[in-house]
Structure 1
């Protein structure tokens, strides 16, 4: 990771998170912000690979920054780092495009481990959050079992989805499949539309449900 955005309004928490990030990504350049406005101002001028974003901020919600990154820098991975573990905060953040969701209350070692997963292509999700997400999709799937079959993806769409779920960027997927970045972006839009998802985290869960990781 070369450039990382760290959005947290409390100085002591921001310093603590920065130390964790540098432990995992020692060469990263970290842009620190304490407000939504400040973070949004950096997006047109700095390309981020990773963003760690708090939700409750003095001038708004970190979810707005997650959504802005999804629209302006689709290759950036947004990870929410928050105290909020309720559905009212979790699912809007995932729908806005969050790649991961980490709870601050966890031990330092566990958060470090979750950050390390990013380099391995795994969405960083706190265990309790992962259970909530899986339960949510399981409950959504129940009434749909008899109503409609699984969405049919083409072989190429499955290849793209698997790589998105593993955390590869659009240019990296393009190189692997011999396609342009714009073509991959079109595939991703089509896949998200078919699966009715809007974030990498949701896409990763769908890829797992469809058995793509077993290929």
Structure 2
């Protein structure tokens, strides 16, 4: 038997923490490793209980979820922890900042329990999770701040087809949707995604989305 996914819940609302803990502990393949109400305690607790995934709120006292995510999963962290941001704000600019800080994905708090559980399992497995509806809107609101004023970098080391796939990733499409859009197989899409991440030196799909937006590849 494989070990259960250990989840640390970091949210300043007791009722939210209790609800999440109840849902997670009811799963045979998951267990709650700890709970806390602010980002600073979350970082300290993560060092003690070694969770597989931290479910992180954004707006919290002492240390917010963005700063906590940066300390747990940001560039240069020796032993990064996977962070799944769960937020009330579907168009909050802090969602973008959380992704830049190293989060592996995000969901809205009103997502049904099965989507939350799927998100935890996805992130624990090393994949990225983006809520498609939020992804499609995120940069529409913050495009001026995210995109460089100089336009797209002409030296992006991708083929035209790879650029096309990257744009579709950034628009929130799944591999199946990309395959249908380009009339290619899912396996071919997976190959393109792998090549894109390797060529650009990116960790996962989340970083690919941030990269595409910063390069102005999505209108």
Correspondence list, 1:34-49, <5 A: 34-49=37-52
In the alignment, structure 1 residue 68 sits paired with structure 2 residue 68: no
In the alignment, structure 1 residue 17 sits paired with structure 2 residue 20: yes
CA contact (8 A) 1:56 1:62 kept: yes
Correspondence list, 1:80-119, <5 A: 80-119=85-124
Q: Do the aligned partners of residues 132 and 196 (structure 1) sit closer, same or farther apart at CA in structure 2, a change above 3 Å counting? A: farther
Q: Residue 132 of structure 1: which of 110, 119, 137 is its match?
A: 137
Q: Do the aligned partners of residues 35 and 61 (structure 1) sit closer, same or farther apart at CA in structure 2, a change above 3 Å counting? A: same
Mapped partners of 1:50, 1:4: distance in 2:
5
The aligned counterpart of 1:151 is 157
- Structure 2 gaps of 5+ residues are 160-196, 213-219
> 3-state SS of the aligned residue for 1:28?
strand
Q: Do the aligned partners of residues 134 and 22 (structure 1) sit closer, same or farther apart at CA in structure 2, a change above 3 Å counting? A: farther
What's the offset of the Cα at 1:112? 2.8
CA contact (8 A) 2:24 2:32 kept: no
What's the offset of the Cα at 1:140? 4.7
Q: Residue 79 of structure 1: which of 61, 68, 84 is its match?
A: 84
Query: What TM-score, normalized by structure 2, do the two folds share?
Result: 0.60
Q: Do the aligned partners of residues 73 and 42 (structure 1) sit closer, same or farther apart at CA in structure 2, a change above 3 Å counting? A: farther
Mapped partners of 1:196, 1:133: distance in 2:
23
CA contact (8 A) 2:82 2:124 kept: no
- Structure 1 gaps of 5+ residues are 154-190, 209-215
Q: Do the aligned partners of residues 11 and 73 (structure 1) sit closer, same or farther apart at CA in structure 2, a change above 3 Å counting? A: farther
What's the offset of the Cα at 1:47? 2.2
What's the offset of the Cα at 1:98? 0.6
What's the offset of the Cα at 1:115? 2.9
Root-mean-square deviation (CA), in Å?
A: 3.7
What's the offset of the Cα at 1:46? 3.3
Query: What TM-score, normalized by structure 1, do the two folds share?
Result: 0.61
Name which of structure 1's ranges 126-135 and 11-20 shifts more when overlaid on structure 2: 126-135
CA contact (8 A) 2:100 2:207 kept: no
CA contact (8 A) 1:50 1:78 kept: yes
The aligned counterpart of 1:55 is 58
Q: Do the aligned partners of residues 111 and 91 (structure 1) sit closer, same or farther apart at CA in structure 2, a change above 3 Å counting? A: same
